[in-house]
Amino acid sequence: MTAVTPDVAHADVRKSGRFLFRAAIVFLCAWVLVPIYFLLINTLSSPETVNAFPKSFIPEFDMGSLTFFANFAGMLTALKNSVIVACLTMVLSIAFGAPAGYALSRFDFRGKELFRVLILLTRAFPLPLLALPLAVLFIRTGLDDTLLGLALVHTTLAIPFAVLITFSLFSGIPIELEEAAWTLGCTRFTAFTKVVLPLIAPGIAASAIFAFVISWNEVFAAAVLTIQNRTLPAFLLQSLGTSPLHLKFAGGFILVVPALVFIFAVRKYLFAMWGIANR
Amino acid sequence: MAQIRIKNVAKRFGAYQALHSINLDVADQEFMVLLGASGCGKTTLLRIIAGLETPSEGEVWIGDRRVDHLAPRDRGIAMVFQNYAVFPHLTVFENIAFGLRMAKMDNALVTKRVERTAELMHIEQLLKRYSGELSGGQRQRVAVARALAMEPDVILMDEPLSNLDALLRLEMRAELKGVLAESKTTAIYVTHDQVEAMSLADRISVMHQGRIVQAASPIEVYRNPAARFVASFIGNPPMNFLPATSHGNGQWSVAGQTFNGPATQKPLEFAIRPEDLSPADQGLKATARVVEPLGAHLLVTCDVEGASFRAVLDSDLTVRPGDILTLAPQPDRIRWFDPETTQAVA
Ligand SMILES: Nc1ncnc2c1ncn2[C@@H]1O[C@H](COP(=O)(O)OP(=O)(O)OP(=O)(O)O)[C@@H](O)[C@H]1O
Ligand SMILES: [Mg+2]
């Protein structure tokens, strides 16, 4: 008889603990999902519904705002610019970041730890602080208002992540695999292409996509450094400031969705990267 | 011709000296076993020969070429890694074929060679699997097969059978010895299993703390250990040691008994193998402490003047803890060591 009571108490504690845990999960999901859901509803609503109150929770699938954007002058050019800059950023940050990640994981050199910290520290400089000197420098070198110039800035933003992600990828591959390949007739380069590359290809793709997203979402440098060749966020920022509410919603939606999809695709590697950065 | 010559090779990792001035000659087609305790530098030496580690000092020769500056692929070697290093993105077949494909061997030939080597290692039914789907022992056999398939001049094996069960290990051991003898390959084989070393080796190099203490035939290493370390490392159980004092004229007093020994005045250590002792009327007085019947033999751990002393006796004898035995060493099996230099004294 006496043995029963503590058991019941235990079960109670466990049950309420589980309830709290679930409640926290629901709350955090709602925190992220509800705004996105409202964004979706308002994007798919006619201008009248957007401004009306109370809100409906069911979208009415009015494509008016989206169609407007599709036909908006400059919109497609901006989209094209965004894609070009993001792709350039992706290629550049992997081209420079992956070798750095490989070196960090495979070679011992003096100041290696310091170098790793410095890579993270590059993110400590606020872009607004750098924007003015950069703009001056770009105008001098003729890089101002070019997609390449903007891609270079985005690359500096994306490289720390590219280095850290690839560093963790390379570190996950035992050096003995490469060494075995060397003894079986490979050069350093063929061992890399035949053994290392196939093993890390998915991770490299993920880190490339992440660089793409960083560039895609970046608006400050894009707004400061370009005038004619604006990327989508810069273009929307400029145009939407004076637009009616329903168009603001639709513009926001157009910006958010690709980023969300990309991030979702590479979520596994993001967790790995945060683990590394916090170490 | 692929003899290996290692001249004065030393290796330092920062302040730590892993290898001290190693000199070793391995003849063409010889089967050399590197034997030593964990951490004594066996893998390091193997990696230096393979070209995966650069020696801090010294020269490495394979055949009549000096190879220190050559990349691993140019040395005519194949290596079995201690932790297998089986490629996880390739099937067992492609793993074994990897080196052959790098050498641009004809496809039909590759298939034939891979199948034959796989059969040898009893993994022919695993050819389609990936390494993630293999047990440790199977992975190890893939690693060995991958090296064998290359048919190299020199094969370097780092504990290639360590992960197999006793029976399979016995079988693979015989198989390996046969294959390597037939293919005229020079082999360096690392192990810390002395039975394996004894059974495989043409010669054994016993390593201790980054030095080669003795390189000789298995029976020589067993019978005439060149140093106290070898005597205390080889044999199961290893040699017994007792302090000895000289009476002059090559007469030595050991635990109250007199033996013939070297004609020197320095204090020496008397050494005898446990199996070279037998009960007699005259001999060392030993108090039995622990008695372990091992079937074929009786292993008795005793006490001789406070020192631990083991004897392997006939299992027909009845010995109880506390019994006092009189053990006579076989005279021609007694060895002497200088406790200062730890070297054998004849
Ligand atoms: N890259 C390295 N950096 C620093 N020390 C090392 C390195 N590689 C090996 N060592 C040290 O050198 C010594 C010899 O190592 P090695 O791997 O050759 O031993 P081993 O004889 O193969 O041992 P085991 O039987 O356990 O495999 C060890 O003390 C080890 O800690
Ligand atoms: Mg080792």
Domain ranges of chain B: 4-226, 240-345
pLDDT at B1 over 50: yes
What H or E segment, with its residue span, contains residue A34? helix A4-43
pLDDT at B33: 96
Half-sphere CA count of B104, side-chain side, radius 13 A: 0
- What's phi and psi for B298, nearest 5 deg? -120, 120
Higher pLDDT, B29 or A38: B29
pLDDT at A278: 45
Higher pLDDT, B29 or A62: B29
Q: Which residues are within 8 A (CB) of A150 and not within 5 positions of it... i.e. 6 or more apart?
A: A85, A221, A222, A225, A226, A229, A231
With CB atoms and an 8 Å threshold, state whether B73 touches A199.
no
Quote the tokens at residue B326.
């009189």
Q: Does A177 touch chain B (CB under 8 A)?
A: yes
C-alpha B215: how far from chain center: 10
CA B42 to centroid of ligand 2, rounded, Å: 6
CA B120 to centroid of ligand 1, rounded, Å: 31
Q: Which of the four pLDDT bands, split at 50, 70 and 90, describes residue A279?
A: very low
Determine which residue's CA is closest to atom 18 belonging to ligand 1. B41
CA distance A7 to chain B (A): 43
Q: Which residues of chain A are within 8 Å of residue B85 when distances are taken between CB atoms?
A: 174, 176-177, 179-180
pLDDT at A48 over 80: no
Average pLDDT, chain A: 83
Average pLDDT, chain B: 93
- CATH homologous superfamily of B240-345 equals Nucleic acid-binding proteins (2.40.50.140)
Kindly report whether the peptide bond that precedes residue A54 is cis, defined as omega within 30 degrees of 0.
yes
With CB atoms and an 8 Å threshold, state whether B83 touches A184.
no
Reference B60, options B1, B2, B5; nearest CA is: B5
Pairing assessment for the beta strands B324-329 and B277-293 based on DSSP bridges? antiparallel
Q: Are B160 and B80 in contact (CB under 8 A)?
A: yes
Collect residues with CB below 5 Å from ion ligand 2: B 43, 82
Question: Which region among A6-20, A87-101, B221-235, B330-344 has the lowest average model confidence (pLDDT)?
Answer: A6-20
Give the other-Cβ count within 10 Å of A91's Cβ: 15
Q: Does A142 touch chain B (CB under 8 A)?
A: no
Nearest to B102 among A184, A198, A199 (CB): A184
Average pLDDT over residues B290-297: 91
Question: Residue A158: left if φ>0, alpha if ψ -120 to 50, beta else—which one?
Answer: alpha
- Residue B115's alpha-carbon distances to B128, B205, B243, in angstroms, are 12, 34, 58
Q: Does A56 touch chain B (CB under 8 A)?
A: no
C-alpha A238: how far from chain center: 22
Q: How far is residue A264's CA from residue A256's CA, in Å, rounded to a whole number? A: 12
The architecture that CATH gives domain B4-226 is 3-Layer(aba) Sandwich (3.40)
Residues framing ligand 1 (Cβ under 6 A): B 13, 16, 18, 36, 38-44, 82, 192
Instruction: Please report, in angstroms and rounded to a whole number, the separation of the first and last CA atoms in chain A.
Output: 51
Q: Which of the four pLDDT bands, split at 50, 70 and 90, describes residue B152?
A: very high
CA B14 to centroid of ligand 1, rounded, Å: 13
pLDDT at A253 over 90: no
CA distance B42 to chain A (A): 16
CA B82 to centroid of ligand 1, rounded, Å: 12
Q: How far is residue A83's CA from residue A74's CA, in Å, rounded to a whole number? A: 14
Nearest to A186 among B73, B78, B85 (CB): B73
CA A279 to centroid of ligand 2, rounded, Å: 30
Q: Are B177 and B200 in contact (CB under 8 A)?
A: yes
Return the DSSP state at B203. E
Determine which residue's CA is closest to atom 8 belonging to ligand 1. B44
What ipTM describes this predicted complex?
0.87
In our burial notation (b when 16+ CB lie closer than 10 A, e otherwise), range A122-138 reads: eeeeebeebbeebbeeb
Give the other-Cβ count within 10 Å of B295's Cβ: 6
pLDDT at A9 over 80: no
B100 → chain A, closest CA residue: A184
Winning range, highest mean pLDDT, from A10-24, A33-47, B327-341: B327-341
Determine which residue's CA is closest to atom 29 belonging to ligand 1. B39
Q: Does A180 touch chain B (CB under 8 A)?
A: yes
User: Tens of pLDDT along B171-203?
Assistant: 888 888 888 888 889 999 999 889 999 999 999
CA A247 to centroid of ligand 1, rounded, Å: 67
Q: How far is residue B174's CA from residue B122's CA, in Å, rounded to a whole number? A: 13
Q: Are B269 and B228 in contact (CB under 8 A)?
A: yes
Q: B309 has which bridge partners?
A: B302
Half-sphere CA count of B274, side-chain side, radius 13 A: 20
Q: Which of the four pLDDT bands, split at 50, 70 and 90, describes residue A5?
A: low
Higher pLDDT, A247 or B201: B201
Pairing assessment for the beta strands B186-191 and B154-158 based on DSSP bridges? parallel
| pTM listed for this prediction | 0.80
The CATH number of the domain covering residues in A65-277:
1.10.3720.10
State whether the Cα torsion A145-A146-A152-A158 is positive or negative.
positive
Write down the number of H helices and E strands in chain A. 14, 0
B78 → chain A, closest CA residue: A183
pLDDT at A272: 62
Q: Are B36 and B207 in contact (CB under 8 A)?
A: yes
Strand order through the sheet with B277-293: B307-314, B297-304, B277-293, B324-329
> Alpha helix (H) ranges present in B152-258?
166-182, 194-200, 218-223, 228-233
Amino acid at B38: S
Ligand 1 atom with least separation from CA of B44: 18
pLDDT at A90: 93
Of the residues B77, B102, B156, the best mutation for testing chain A's interface (the one with the most A CB atoms within 10 Å of its CB) is: B102
B144 → chain A, closest CA residue: A180
Half-sphere CA count of B197, side-chain side, radius 13 A: 27
With CB atoms and an 8 Å threshold, state whether B146 touches A184.
yes
Instruction: Give the residue carrying structure tokens 């891609």.
Output: A151
Q: Which residues of chain B are within 8 Å of residue A199 when distances are taken between CB atoms?
A: 88-89
Question: Which region among A224-228, B119-123, B200-204, B235-239 has the lowest average model confidence (pLDDT)?
Answer: A224-228
pLDDT at B154: 95
Instruction: Please report, in angstroms and rounded to a whole number, the separation of the first and last CA atoms in chain B.
Output: 37
Q: Chain B residues within 8 A (CB-CB) of chain A?
A: 50-52, 71-73, 77-79, 81, 83, 85, 87-89, 98-99, 102-103, 146, 150
Determine which residue's CA is closest to atom 2 belonging to ligand 1. B13
CA distance B73 to chain A (A): 5
Q: How many CB pairs under 8 A join A and B?
A: 54
Nearest to B87 among A182, A187, A195 (CB): A195
With CB atoms and an 8 Å threshold, state whether A174 touches B85.
yes
Give the other-Cβ count within 10 Å of B86's Cβ: 26
pLDDT at A79: 84
Pairing assessment for the beta strands B203-208 and B31-36 based on DSSP bridges? parallel
Kindly report whether the peptide bond that precedes residue B237 is cis, defined as omega within 30 degrees of 0.
yes
Q: Does A199 touch chain B (CB under 8 A)?
A: yes
Q: How far is residue B215's CA from residue B206's CA, in Å, rounded to a whole number? A: 6
Average pLDDT over residues A233-254: 80
Nearest to B98 among A174, A184, A198 (CB): A184
With CB atoms and an 8 Å threshold, state whether A179 touches B85.
yes
User: Tens of pLDDT along B232-282?
Assistant: 999 989 999 999 999 888 899 999 899 999 988 889 999 999 999 999 999
pLDDT at A108: 86
pLDDT at B70: 94
With CB atoms and an 8 Å threshold, state whether A183 touches B98.
no
Please calculate the CA angle A65-A71-A73 and round it to the nearest 5 degrees.
Answer: 120
pLDDT at A1: 46
